[in-house]
Structure 1
């Protein structure tokens, strides 16, 4: 059996954790049923992503983009659970199969136990924001620790666990914070942030997705997201390569580069203020009992999978 996950060319810890989480949850799964694809953590129930051929075992995946694959043939699709009730409704399976995102079980791995608190408040942007935004500088100005979602997954997760508070544009930033019992505040920089998948997960742990709006930090970020930046509308450019804004360093160019950075910081001032305000907003955290109940249901499903496949 092979785990399937969406692999970003930039890296994204919420998807990359599939590389090792299933070895902890289902030890030995790689040695059995080579014809089966384990479809796990991620918004991957998408016809354009998953191969049409072959058997799939679905464990906690979500819908949120594109079109669903045809999953009616139960000899090819073994759907044990999905991310939440919204995905269950879209997929045409019973609502009680919308259990929770399996990433919450990362917090039960021994290697993440007893993480010391090293940071006060940190910001985890969406990977698109990290690609083209000025967020490390914005965080420094706002007094927040910056966590790059494109980093090595285990390192990113440890940083999240080591925080007192998380401001999350990355959904898995909030999911992992909640799993480690770190209060979190949801934010959004553009309409590109998928509220469907957030609400799908949030409903499983009994919280609401009520993101605070944070202005986009750079023109390049606006171009990638097809959004507005300082009154200029880049709608229709989403996904397009952003023009380089930093330039190549050459002899004698340091003063000009310094001025350019200073100008960017001025333009990002609304982002800095909004992020600082978000860090002081009332955070959310699911109830212990609700999270434990959902995790117990997921562990029960995993036990059934072990019995049937291993």
Structure 2
């Protein structure tokens, strides 16, 4: 089998972990049935992303962007489980098969167990926010550790596991925090954050997605997201709503080549303009966090292991 994952041109740990997670969950799967695509972690049940004419084994994937593929052909689709009940309803399968996001199983891997806590509070933005936001500076101002979601997946996951609290705009930031039993707070900077996929996962572990609003931190970030910054609105240019990699999201960013003094003054001005974001992020890091119940998470992981057992029986 070949593992499928959506590869962001900028990097996104929640998708990139597909490169090695399945070797742990299904050892030897790469050597079996090279004509089958294993569709796992990610919001990838999207007509524009998955190839036609190839058998696909779906294990925990979600819907949330673009158009759902026609999955009625059983010769091409073997849907064992999906991320949650909302995706299950869209696909047309029983809600009980909306089990969990497979990323939670990362916490079972030996290399991520019993890691020491070294970060008091950490912030994991959405990858689009990380491209043009002032978040590293903002986090430094309010005493938060900044975790770049575009980093190497294993390193990002260790930073999450080594935190005592996670503020997450990234859905997989919250999913991994919950899996490692790290309390988390959800935030959102714009309507571009997909609430459908968050609620799809949240319902599986009995938590509620109620994100605190945090304003975008820069004009460039507002341009990427098509939202307002200090009352000025921006429209985002969509070239293809089906595939996020086809969106022109950073073509308008310009490297600052001004003299050092002007660069310093501009940096100070940007920090000042990011003050509402800084305050809102600080407030978010001080509210009561969420965490799913141990028994609920354990039950969902058990059900997912049972699905893996059927895959081993039928394919390996």
> In which range does the TM-score fall when normalised by the shorter chain?
over 0.9
* CA-CA distance at 1:248 after TM superposition: 2.2
2:29 match = 29
Answering whether residue 265 of structure 2 is matched by residue 259 of structure 1, we say yes
1:302 match = 308
1:184 match = 184
Q: Which 5+ residue runs of structure 2 have no aligned equivalent? A: 239-246
2:202 match = 202
* CA-CA distance at 1:52 after TM superposition: 1.1
Q: State the Cα deviation string for residues 171-193 of structure 1 (Å, max 9, x = none).
A: 00000000000000000000000
Answering whether residue 238 of structure 2 is matched by residue 243 of structure 1, we say no
2:287 match = 281
Q: Is contact 2:185-2:290 (8 Å) kept?
A: yes
* CA-CA distance at 1:244 after TM superposition: 3.0
Q: Is contact 1:125-1:148 (8 Å) kept?
A: yes
Q: State the Cα deviation string for residues 23-60 of structure 1 (Å, max 9, x = none).
A: 00000000010110000000000000000111000000
2:241 match = none
Q: Report matched runs for 1:205-220 at 5 Å.
A: 205-220=205-220
* CA-CA distance at 1:104 after TM superposition: 0.1
Give distance in 2, aligned partners of 1:182 and 1:236: 35
Give distance in 1, aligned partners of 2:180 and 2:213: 25
Give distance in 1, aligned partners of 2:112 and 2:30: 23
Give distance in 2, aligned partners of 1:91 and 1:187: 28
- TM-score, structure 1 as length reference: 0.97
* CA-CA distance at 1:246 after TM superposition: 4.6
- TM-score, structure 2 as length reference: 0.96
* CA-CA distance at 1:235 after TM superposition: 2.4
Q: Report matched runs for 1:1-310 at 5 Å.
A: 1-237=1-237, 239-240=247-248, 241=250, 243-244=252-253, 246-248=255-257, 253-310=259-316
Q: Which 5+ residue runs of structure 1 have no aligned equivalent? A: none
2:244 match = none
Q: Is contact 1:207-1:286 (8 Å) kept?
A: yes
Q: Is contact 2:224-2:236 (8 Å) kept?
A: no
Q: Is contact 1:221-1:242 (8 Å) kept?
A: no
* CA-CA distance at 1:245 after TM superposition: 5.0
* CA-CA distance at 1:75 after TM superposition: 1.5
Give distance in 2, aligned partners of 1:221 and 1:106: 31
Q: How many residues of Structure 1 are paired with residues of Structure 2 in the alignment? A: 307
* CA-CA distance at 1:157 after TM superposition: 0.1
Q: Is contact 2:4-2:39 (8 Å) kept?
A: yes
